[in-house]
Amino acid sequence: MAADVYAAYPHSGRGGWSWYTGSAGWMYRAGLEYILGFQKNGDTIIMDPCIPQKWKEYAIQYKFIDTMYDIRVENPQGLNKGVKRISLDGELSEGNRIPLVNDGKSHEVLVVMGL
């Protein structure tokens, strides 16, 4: 991620100032929110992954104040997008939302992609 791209010879097309603080932060956010689909909104996580079909699963650990959320995303059908169900500690969640609580415990989240 380059901050500037040179237009003058002999460096035409080359990028400079790569991965400086601003661009690194935006790339991290783009990967987390728009590829892995992890979007925090207040006391809720919205999961909406858009991943390569080859990815069969991935995991995210998220600490909300004193509480750890272990999120596992499974992609058994090899899809790019679509959430079939989400469970929090074995209980189904509404839609693609995960409610966050600060109870100091560890919570298991399973996101299953599908149609």
* pLDDT of 90: 97
Structure tokens at 20: 């400086």
Average pLDDT, the chain: 93
**Whole-prediction pTM value?**
0.84
Q: In this model, does residue 27 exceed pLDDT 80?
A: yes
Q: In this model, does residue 21 exceed pLDDT 80?
A: no
Per residue in 68-79, pLDDT tens?
999 999 999 999
* pLDDT of 26: 84
Higher-pLDDT residue of 90 and 7 is 90
Region of residue 72 (phi > 0: left; psi between -120 and 50: alpha; otherwise: beta): beta
Per residue in 40-62, pLDDT tens?
999 999 999 999 999 999 999 99
Superfamily name and number for 16-113: Maltose phosphorylase, domain 3 (2.60.420.10)
* pLDDT of 24: 78
Phi, psi of 22 (to 5 degrees): -65, -45
Higher-pLDDT residue of 14 and 63 is 63
d(CA 47, CA 82) in angstroms, rounded, equals 10
70, 98 contact by CB (below 8 A): no
Give strand pairing partners of 22: none
